[in-house]
Amino acid sequence: MRKFLTLIPALLVIASCDRLGKSVPSEEELLQEELRTINWKEVDEYPSVSECEKLEDKALRRSCFFEFLSTTLQQRLDSESISNMYPNLDTIQVRVTVFPDSTLKFEPQFPADSLTYRDRKIDSILQSRLSDLPKISPAINRGIPVKSQFNLPVILKSE
């Protein structure tokens, strides 16, 4: 029995000495490892507006936000001016950027081969008609507001 008791402390010392030989990773190494594990292409929470924030389900909240934004863009851009300026244009893609400070940027996107549509007039119409949108909360990733960007189709003519 006495031999058994003397072996136990020796084993504990050996086991604890084994751990002393390993180095502790630095803060920078831990940070870099964590940054490698983050999926930068997806967010934990999509941008949102107050009407959608009451929804608990992530997919429903996302759908609510995109439906709100699409409908709002459609209503505000539903004008004769763009249709008159560009009679052959029935839909434009709008790149929407939501910055971490809740500011917005709208950029019309046109096919590369349609040089006739590359016009500052559409851009200025977008900026003037969309300047007073309700506050949009930015996307969240790991508890931090992040920039998000997406394209929305805006139908100018529906026949």
- Domain-located, residue 15: no
Please state the domain count of the chain: 1
Q: Which domain holds residue 97?
A: 58-155
- Domain-located, residue 135: yes
- Write out the two tokens for 15: 């086991």
- Domain-located, residue 78: yes
- Domain-located, residue 38: no
* pLDDT tens per residue across span 104-129: 988 888 666 554 555 667 777 777 77
What's the predicted TM-score (pTM) here? 0.69
Residue 8 has pLDDT above 60, yes or no: no
CA distance 99 to 114: 29
- Domain-located, residue 137: yes
- Domain-located, residue 23: no
- Domain-located, residue 7: no
- Domain-located, residue 107: yes
